Amino acid sequence: MIPRGVFLPASACKDWPVLATLALLWSEALWRWQAVWVNLPDYGFGWAVPVLAAFLAWERWPDRPPAAAEAGARVWLWCAGLTPALALTGLLRLILEPFPLWPAALWLFTAMVLGLTLSLLTLAYGRATARHFAFPLAFMATALPWPAFVDTNFVLPMREALAALAAQIVNFSGYPAIAHGTVIRVGAGRVGVDEACSGIRSLQAASMVALFLGELNRYSGRRRLALFGVGVALALGTNLLRTVFLAWQSALHGPDAVGQWHDPAGYALLLICLGGLVAVTLLWRRHAPTFAPRPPDAMHRGSLSLARRLSLALAAAIVVIEAGTQLWYAHGELQARHALRWEAQLPRTRPDYRDDPFTASMQSMLACDTHQLGHWTADDGAPRAGYVIGWQRGQAARFTTALHNPTVCLPLSGSQLLADRGLVNIEVGKLKLPFQAYVFASELGPMHIYYLLWDVRAGQPFVRRTGRLGTLGWIAQQWEDVRQARRNFEATVLTLAIYHASSDTAADQELRAEAPGIITVTSP
């Protein structure tokens, strides 16, 4: 630990161009990150990360190395790297305007901010100073959403493994339980996707706290890695306990008990997890090295003339990037074409129509403005179901539907995807609506799912894909929205489930017969 009472010297005011540019750069970054913390409940802890990062930097300030000017050749090398870094930052800024929650873009943007910061610190104070403060700066990445490949290859299998293990434990306790994906069927109900996965938020929170405590105590690399492993083990262990407890409550007291205990159990076990990390840190305190602050005469200053000029140029570039981004999308809003609109109403006038529940946890995950969920029976006696979800206030639609759509949620609830049939076009009035068609195996037999995610303002689907475009094709689709300068979205999701169809063709015909009674085309 560093002795207290050593603060920023008054002479640092001479460095105002460098400090002001860094403040401008990180303010821009924080504004991008806050969209994640506001819109994704699992990342609400991100608000604490800037405070913790600032505290770590303050802890490192007293024993910072003396400032030293870089050699001439290295200076020009650093300067040459700033131009492409700024160009990539500007491109990422354009992408993040319509896609503020895109993990890959956020990570690249954060890497650019970190790179620009370390470059400026190197030019102003030397490489030793940049290395000294690198970890507190990089610590900000702990508040970012994990990239998709981590969710797909690590988090999702872990959720399924936790559900399977929890089901076995509940079975051994005398209550029959079966795991389907991340859903545990037990007693009279089930522990749903959001319950069975145990939130997993404690895993990232525990990782963040482990990294913070390791840096705070200046542990060696091996001890930091060990502390990180302890955090992961505690997070997984408490998640398993929570899942078993909720499944046990469902078996004893029915499905309603899961909702009653969901949040209290989560918060209690999160405190146990983080408390365990703090306890391990206290046990290891004797291994924490001590550092003495440098005497004032050792804190001489390097040459700042070039760094000051580059700081002003960098600040100007940041302003230009932000202004250009706003002008580009303002132009796109002015040029937005008028489009025919449609509305969807489930057949509530049918005597056999029944509304399905829309829970608080569903609202938290989807962040929608309107919703309809229900089921009914067709004239031939076959079951029908559907939902209509609407967003009228910005970005939530694009990313919540990427995480919560039939190809994600139905397999997690135990239904098996049998076929991705691509697009099925349905004409209603003057509109041609391209539904993405799937076939799932369900308890009621084959289930044909028709899914449409519609961009209301543009009058077209958000994503024209059949599941075979791959990563590059998906990126090209996202870039099309950037090219057309579309950022403010108004969206509607319509999903219909048709059971007992004798064939794909028969299901399509039933959809075409059902759609006009649900969808109404309106004026722009």
pLDDT value at 9 more than 50: no
User: Sign (positive/negative) of CA torsion 169, 170, 174, 179?
Assistant: negative
In the structure encoding, which two tokens stand for residue 9, read together? 């010297």
In the structure encoding, which two tokens stand for residue 41, read together? 């409940």
Reading phi first (left if > 0) and then psi (alpha if -120 to 50, else beta), residue 492 is in beta
pLDDT value at 197 more than 70: no
Distance of alpha carbon 162 from alpha carbon 168, whole angstroms? 10
Cα angle at 137 between 133 and 139, to 5 degrees? 120
Confidence band for 297, pLDDT divided at 50, 70 and 90: very low
Q: What is the pLDDT of residues 372-391, one digit of tens each?
A: 999 999 888 889 999 999 98
**Adjacent-strand bridge partners of 493:** 389, 453
Q: What is the pLDDT of residue 443?
A: 79
pLDDT value at 405 more than 50: yes
In the structure encoding, which two tokens stand for residue 340, read together? 């025919």
pLDDT value at 322 more than 60: yes
- The answer to whether the CB of 367 falls within 8 A of the CB of 39 is yes
Q: Does 169 or 31 have the greater pLDDT score?
A: 31
Confidence band for 300, pLDDT divided at 50, 70 and 90: very low
pTM of the model: 0.72
Q: Does 193 or 227 have the greater pLDDT score?
A: 227
Q: What is the pLDDT of residue 53?
A: 95
Mean pLDDT of the chain: 81
- The answer to whether the CB of 235 falls within 8 A of the CB of 227 is no
Distances (CA, A) of 195 to 36, 187, 431: 22, 15, 40
Q: What is the pLDDT of residue 100?
A: 87
- Quote the percentage of the chain above a pLDDT of 70: 84
Q: What is the pLDDT of residue 67?
A: 77
Highest mean pLDDT among 179-193, 286-300, 309-323, 483-497: 309-323
Mean pLDDT of 329-355: 83
Highest mean pLDDT among 53-62, 187-196, 245-254: 53-62
Mean pLDDT of 163-180: 78
- Quote the percentage of the chain above a pLDDT of 90: 33
Where do the domains of the chain lie?
12-145, 148-286, 341-522
Of 241, 243, 244, 245, the residue nearest 233 (C-alpha): 241
Which of 100-114, 143-157, 284-298 has the weakest average pLDDT? 284-298
What Rg value do the Cα atoms of the chain yield, rounded?
A: 27
Q: What is the pLDDT of residues 118-148, one digit of tens each?
A: 988 888 888 888 999 999 999 999 999 888 7
Q: What is the pLDDT of residues 490-522, one digit of tens each?
A: 889 999 999 989 899 999 999 999 898 999 988
Q: What is the pLDDT of residue 51?
A: 95
Packing angle, helices 305-334 and 16-39, rounded to 10 = 40
Q: What is the pLDDT of residue 235?
A: 86
